[in-house]
Every structure is written in C-alpha cells, then in structure tokens.
Amino acid sequence: MDIKTVGVIGAGQMGNGIAHVMALAGYDVTLNDLSQDALTAALAKIEKNMVRQVSRNLITEADMQAGLARISPALDVAALGTADLVIESATENEDIKNKIIEGIVPHLPEHTIITSNTSSISITRLAARTDRPEKFMGFHFMNPVPLMQLVELIRGIATDDETYQSCLAVVEKLGKTAASAEDFPAFIVNRILIPMINEACYTLYEGVGNVASIDNAMKLGANHPMGPLELADFIGLDTCLAIMNVLHDGLADTKYRPCPLLTKYVAAGWLGRKTGRGFYDYRGDVPVPTR
C-alpha cells in the first residue's frame, strides 16, 4: 500500500520525534494527544529541533517550513480517520496501549495499518485487541528519533507480508535502516541493551564500582559513547525497569531479575534526566553522580 498520511498517537519525546521525521519525509501527519499543553510543547520542540537541523545544513529553511506545515495537532482520535498508517507512541504500559488501540479502531478505515512504537511489549497481544491483526505490527524507533538511524520492525503472529513491506517502504523513505525482529519480549535492541544497564545497576548495588567508575570504564574500556548509567538516565529509569519486568515475566529466567537499586530509584521518583535526578543529579550546571 502506498502510504501518504500518518497518524501519531502521543506527543511526548518519541511521538514528537516520529512526527518530525515523518513530516520531513513528505507525509501528512496528524499528531494526537489528550493534552493541549502536550501538543503545544511538542510542536515547539519539533520546530526547535528543525531549526537546529537548518543551522547544521542538514535541511533547508524551505524543508523546515514545508515539514511544519504538514503536521496537524488533534485532541480527538477521530482525526486519525484519514490516516493510512497509525503509530501508537504512548507510555510503555500494556494496559494504556490496549485502551488506546481499542479506542482508535472504530475510527479507522479498513485499509489503515496500525503499529506500535513499543520497545518491549508483545505485538501479538496488542494486535489481538484490534479487528485487523494481519495489519498490525511493531514500528520501534530509537531515541532521539531524528538522529538515530535504526527502526525495528516486529511482526506479530498474524502480520501479513503486505503490511511488513508497506512499513519497510516507509522506513526506507525516512532514510533509516530497518532491523526485522521476531515477536519475543524486548525484541533485539532492548533484549541486549537493557540487561546490560541492569547489570551496571547490580555492579553499583554490590559496590564493585561507583557511578563515575562504571560509566568511565565502559566509555573508555569498551568505547561506548555513553556509560550505561548515564544512558539509563537518558532513557528513563522507569522505562528501563518496565522493560526488565517484561523480560523477567515473559521469559521466566532469573537472569532478567530487575536490580533492587533500580527499583529503589524508580520508587523514589528519581527517573533520570526528565525528573532532574537519577544516577546523576542534573539540577546544577554539571551532572553530579548520586553514588
């Protein structure tokens, strides 16, 4: 199917990034959220990020103006009824995603492909909440969306090849690279990445090293651009914990047991950059390790 219009549900960090790249690629985008404040903030963030791209000669001023004009904010999910492709990008919580997906189905024409930007939740289970499991799949962007080149495409048990090929064509039009993953907990990237972060939490928890030594060891010893604890703060410790729980519950293997220290930080509300504190304290001019 030739996809021309895209609906994005959720105007948060991932949703506004997806709307950004879709609009620059020439798609007409409807960005939906329950909150007008969230929509207003998302549009401002998209424009700010596009201005940065113009300043770096990555896009032209004309590209930016055309891209911004293609994005239409909407509070009502009924506005998604014109979309050829819908990408759900709400918080990483299966109950919330199920309610959103069930709520949009009545508004969509038969040809619309429904996808989820979930980073870990079963595509097969989410698809079962729709009237078109064969037209449902995982469309997992990496954060930050405008910069990261990978998109994971995840087929549920019922996803047909036409749906996969249509989504693959979108990824290619975005100038990104697709990695095809099977529908197992956390797919490819987070199946490998999040347990590494969890192990870094255990290394801190057990006193093997402090925050600075763990991050420096991996940056300088393994050539990682960010240390695992710094990266956890960037992702959000609540998201890291949610993915570890999905792995632990879905695979029933004790090696995926979330670190108690990670659980404690989340319980304290120290979720990383977005709350000002995590493994680092971001409230000053320079991030300071909290352990």
Other CB atoms within a 10 A radius of the CB of residue 216 amount to 14
Catalytic one of 32, 117, 119, 122: 119
**Closest to 111 measured CA to CA, from 132, 126, 127, 130:** 132
Q: Is 111 a catalytic residue?
A: no
User: Per this entry, what is the length of the chain?
Assistant: 291
Is 13 labelled as part of a ligand binding site?
Answer: yes
Q: Check 140, 166, 198, 230 and give the catalytic one.
A: 140
DSSP string across 115-172: EE--SSS-HHHHHTTSS-GGGEEEEEE-SSTTT--EEEEEE-TT--HHHHHHHHHHHH
Active site annotation includes 119: yes
Helix (H, G, I), strand (E, B) or coil at 74: strand
Rounded Cα–Cα distance for residues 72 and 85 (Å): 15
Q: Which of 152, 166, 198, 230 is catalytic?
A: 152
In terms of DSSP bridges, do strands 71-74 and 28-32 run parallel, antiparallel, or are they unpaired?
parallel
Joined tokens for residue 211:
């925050």
Find, among 129, 126, 130, the residue nearest to 139 by Cα: 126
Angle at 275 between CA 271 and CA 277, to 5 degrees: 70
Active site (annotated) includes residue 20:
no
Annotated active-site residue in 16, 32, 122, 190: 190
Can 152 be counted among the known catalytic residues? yes
For residue 15, say whether it is annotated as part of any ligand binding site: yes
Pair of tokens at residue 86: 């819908």
Q: Which of 141, 133, 71 is nearest to 105 (CA)?
A: 133
Q: Which residues are annotated as a binding site?
A: 10-15, 33, 92, 97, 119, 143, 274
Q: Which residues are annotated as a binding site for NAD(+)?
A: 10-15, 33, 92, 97, 119, 143, 274
Active site residues: 119, 140, 152, 190
